[in-house]
Structures are given as C-alpha cells and as structure tokens.
Amino acid sequence: MRETAVAYETETDLSFDQAVQSCRDALAREGFGVLTEIDVQATLKKKLDVDRDPYLILGACHPPSAHRALTAVPEVGVLLPCNVTVSRENGKTVVRAMNPKAALGILNNPALDDVACEVAAALRRVVEAV
C-alpha cells in the first residue's frame, strides 16, 4: 500500500469484481455502509460514448464519525461520504480510499482532527485488506 496526497492505494491480483466485493466486506467490518455507487465506466459510455476500463466509486459512510464531524463543523458535509474506488488500470486492479486527514484538513478546524485520524486508520485497514 502507498499513500498519495489524497488517497491510500494498492494494486491487487484480484479481479475487478473480486476487489469490489473485498472492499465491501472490509468496509462493513470497519463499520462503514455504502451510501452511493457510481459506475464511471457505464456513465461515460452512456453520456459521452467513451469506452474505458471498469471504474467504480463507492461512497462509504461511517455513521458515528459522520455524526461527530457534522456536529462539530456542519460544512464538512460537502466532503462526505468517504470515497473508495476500484478500477482497472494498465491491466491491474487498483483500490484507493480517500485520505480523510487530507480532505478534512482543508477546513483547518482542530475539532475534526480526531475523527479524521480515526477514519483514516479505518480506511487504511480497508485498503490493506484487499
């Protein structure tokens, strides 16, 4: 696993579908629910007639953390939910999860520090589990 400026990411030998299921399972173990699912491949095909490799965005929510963050700083809602992506890139399956410390850090509000760290640790474990 590696960390970029905005995400935790890993490549896996799993197929795309296996990686999606592995992500769902790991998210559930960490207490996340998937609120949204965006099939980027299908959307771009439909809207732009563009062919691309599979790319799925899972909008994951950890309700206790979301509640704490929204209570402390209501505007944080524009940065929710936590996105996790599964994609095929250059023949590999790639899994990424947003880094909440980077995302919430743009608000520069110490009230979000603890929740960002806790959710970041959980999302790191999700990516590592795939």
**pLDDT tens for residues 65-108?**
999 999 999 999 999 999 999 999 999 999 999 999 999 999 99
What is the CATH number for 9?
A: 3.30.310.70
Mean residue pLDDT of the chain comes to 97
- In SS3 terms, 40-69 reads as HHHHHHHHHCCCCCCEEEEEEECHHHHHHH
8 pLDDT band, cuts 50/70/90, is: very high
* Tally of residues, the chain: 130
Q: Residue 41 is part of which domain span?
A: 2-129
**pLDDT tens for residues 41-55?**
999 999 999 999 999
- The domain total for the chain is 1
pTM (2 d.p.): 0.94
